[in-house]
Structure 1
Amino acid sequence: MSSTEVTAAIGVGGIVIASLLPAGGIEDGPVLCPFRAITGLPCPGCGLTRSWVYLMHGDIGSSLASNWFGPVLILAILVLAVVAVRARISRRRPTDLDKLVRSPIILGFFGLFLAYGAVRLILTLTGVIDPI
């Protein structure tokens, strides 16, 4: 199995788990982020689990409020899974994950993700928004 297929499979597994978790109690779960557990401040990825769970239960507003990149990441995983499956069906090896993540589009999204995290951190530190 290629790294693309493994990543797609893990991502799809995460989406399935998000759809099985109850949306009602997701805010009461444990803090999984080491950065947030230590500092009480959000990292760029904080809220992704909640975002996925809300999105999988159809609550787009809460999904975006938890982390804007939750829906983007789900879409990226689904596209990656389709790419991997299509390659397997046509008996080709899927494009290397290293090559995919170096594309300008992916690098741009990663830059936006880091900028989003930095802005959210600054807004939390200045008291404009509440910590997650």
Structure 2
Amino acid sequence: MLRAPAVAAAGGALALALVHVRDPHVDGAYGFCPFLVLTGLPCPGCGGLRAANLLTRGDVAGAVSSNLFAVVLVAVAAVAWSVWFLRRLRGRPAPFLTWSARTVTIAGLLVVAFGVVRVTPWGAWLAP
């Protein structure tokens, strides 16, 4: 019953451990963003690894300045995992991701909006 949440938690912990140990602030540590290389503009994910690295070090302000969207995404994922775990623990049916088409559309629009705003002059503070 708790196998899936435990596996997901272990996977997340391993990913965060990797990002903590292998510093993404070093150029090329994880390769390069193809969108950034091709356009010269940061994609919505640019700075996400740096943000995760800074979160593992307790630097929330630095993480927010690297990628606000990634920080929000980590918080949402933590809450979603907690709800999933607690529902499973109580024996209730709890599929991890059951999103409606509307929710997926809204999430996609938020990602696009974040990507557009961060390359404009008034959203430059969002760029890494």
Q: TM-score, normalised by structure 2?
A: 0.68
Name the structure, 1 or 2, with higher relative contact order (CA <8 Å, separation 6+).
Answer: 1
Structure 1 stretches of 4+ moved >2 Å? 4-18, 31-34, 37-40, 98-103, 106-114
Which residue of structure 2 aligns with residue 15 of structure 1?
A: 16
Q: Residue in 2 aligned with 1:114?
A: 112
Q: Which piece of structure 1 moves more, 47-56 or 4-13?
A: 4-13
Larger helix percent: 1
Measure how far apart 1:42 and its partner are: 0.6
Separation in 1, partners of 2:54, 2:116: 23
Q: CA deviation at 1:34?
A: 2.3
Name the CA distance, whole Å, in 2 between partners of 1:93 and 1:32.
Answer: 40
TM-aligned CA distance change 1:55 to 1:28, over 3 Å: same
Relative to structure 1, the CA distance from residue 6 to residue 120 in structure 2 (aligned partners, 3 Å threshold; closer, same or farther) is: farther
Q: Deviations over 1:47-77 (max 9, x none)?
A: 1111111122122222111111122111111
Residues in 1 aligned to 2:7 and 2:72: alpha-carbon distance in whole angstroms: 16
Q: Which consecutive unaligned segments of at least 5 residues does structure 2 have?
A: none
SS of 1:28's equivalent?
Answer: coil
C-alpha spacing 1:85/1:100, structure 2 compared with 1 (3 Å): farther
CA RMSD of aligned residues (A): 3.3
Consecutive unaligned residues in structure 1, runs of 5 or more: none
